[in-house]
Homo-oligomer: A and B are copies of this chain.
Amino acid sequence: MSTIKEVAEQAGVSQATVSRVMNGEVRVAEPTRLRVEAAVAALGYHPNAFARSLASNRSHGVGLIISHLGGPFMGRLMLTLEDVLRRHDKSLLVASGRSDPEREREAARFLLARRCDGLLVHADGMSDEELEALAAQTPLVVINRLVPALSDRCVHVDNVSGGYQATRHLIEQGHRRIACITGPLWKQDATQRLMGYRRAMAQAKLAVDTDAVFEGDSLEHSGRLAVERLATRGVDYTALVTGNDEMALGAIARLRELGRSVPEEVSMVGYDDEAYARYVSPGLTTVHAPLEEMAAAAAQRLLALAYDRPWQGELRFTPWLVERGTVAPPAS
């Protein structure tokens, strides 16, 4: 591994000049630059990242805190994040919170100790206040969540709209008795989706019986459970709006076991448009968010914050409904 010193000697210039050429910022006379570049090529020189970081106090690494790495679209999210960052020659350090607030905090400490230049945070465990405190320490962008005090650095999706669209679609198909299965209501997105459901119902002058709303835990089992509870509670419905695809699938499976067909007898709308939503049959009608675009926006925003890159763009995204086969007009 050759060093800057060797390059300097080979090119007959000082280390400072080599440094300048390598960083391409300050102006260097053309012939000099050429000589340096030749030397660099000849020696196969690559700057030592450690030394560079120590001297400049920048790691050129960005930390990513993921609430739960095993989650459904973390892959897609990271794919885009990594892509954008690498194009700017930044690397991505990943730390998982494993769905535990304490571990999310620890992940943040870990990444901070590694002296990341900035943090991308996809966390639902930490409180708004904690995130604000973090943001005060380092450039930070929040993904998929809106922290009011940090609204200029939160890439988020309009979940109210998503819930609304899902419900609205059902109403337009003629449904009147629509039940709802939500995710854990301590999570912002679950509450918002529910809010969208409520809004659509209210707008159509449809009453929402509290019994018609079931709070699940986002897992398939919840969907099955919801179907049973709804029956126990004596709720009569022709359609179901769910907080995510997994619960929708659970509900469908249970409904079928009970001899009720989907969509003939019960219509169903999922949320998230996970990979398998298109594979199941009938295809699951669900709500889709532009995850890749959101990831790109988050990466760009962070680059702007951490490296003064130019930036302009939208941080708020609107999801849309993807119609497949689980919604039909109610049996009349």
Binding site for B on A (CB under 8 A): 46, 48-51, 53-54, 57, 59, 61, 68-72, 74-76, 78-79, 82-83, 86, 91-96, 98, 110-111, 113-115, 220, 246, 249-250, 252-253, 256, 274-276, 278-281
Pick the contact of A74 from B75, B91, B93, B114 — CB < 8 Å?
B75
- Whether B246 contacts A279 by the Cβ 8 Å rule is yes
Q: Which 10 A-B pairs have the closest CB atoms?
A: A276-B276, A69-B79, A50-B54, A50-B53, A249-B279, A70-B75, A74-B75, A70-B79, A54-B54, A82-B96
- Whether B82 contacts A69 by the Cβ 8 Å rule is yes
Task: Please name all residues of chain B whose beta carbon is closer than 8 Å to the beta carbon of A220 when the two chains form the complex.
Answer: 278-279
Q: How many copies does the complex hold?
A: 2
- Whether A94 contacts B96 by the Cβ 8 Å rule is no
Pick the contact of A281 from B93, B94, B256 — CB < 8 Å?
B256
- Whether A94 contacts B92 by the Cβ 8 Å rule is yes
- Whether B82 contacts A71 by the Cβ 8 Å rule is no
Task: Please name all residues of chain B whose beta carbon is closer than 8 Å to the beta carbon of A274 when the two chains form the complex.
Answer: 276
Pick the contact of A114 from B49, B72, B280 — CB < 8 Å?
B49
Pick the contact of A71 from B59, B75, B93 — CB < 8 Å?
B75
- Whether B256 contacts A279 by the Cβ 8 Å rule is no
Known: A86-B95, A91-B93, A220-B279. A50 touches B57 (CB 8 A): yes
Q: Can you list 8 A-B contacts (CB < 8 A)?
A: A50-B59, A68-B79, A69-B78, A71-B75, A91-B93, A94-B94, A250-B279, A253-B279
Closest chain B residue to A107, Cβ basis = B86
Question: Other CB < 8 Å A-B pairs besides A72-B275, A249-B280, A276-B279, 5 of them?
Answer: A53-B53, A70-B76, A79-B98, A250-B279, A274-B276
- Whether A86 contacts B110 by the Cβ 8 Å rule is yes
Closest chain B residue to A250, Cβ basis = B279
Closest chain B residue to A256, Cβ basis = B281
Known: A75-B70, A75-B74, A115-B50. A61 touches B281 (CB 8 A): no
Q: What's the Cα separation between A245 and B78 when bound, in Å? A: 23
Closest chain B residue to A96, Cβ basis = B82
Q: What's the Cα separation between A82 and B83 when bound, in Å? A: 20
Q: What's the Cα separation between A59 and B50 when bound, in Å? A: 8
Q: What's the Cα separation between A98 and B76 when bound, in Å? A: 11
- Whether A79 contacts B54 by the Cβ 8 Å rule is no
Pick the contact of A95 from B68, B75, B91, B280 — CB < 8 Å?
B91
How near does chain B come to A126, taking the closest CB pair, in angstroms?
Answer: 17
- Whether B114 contacts A91 by the Cβ 8 Å rule is yes
Closest chain B residue to A54, Cβ basis = B50
- Whether B83 contacts A98 by the Cβ 8 Å rule is yes
Q: What's the Cα separation between A276 and B250 when bound, in Å? A: 11
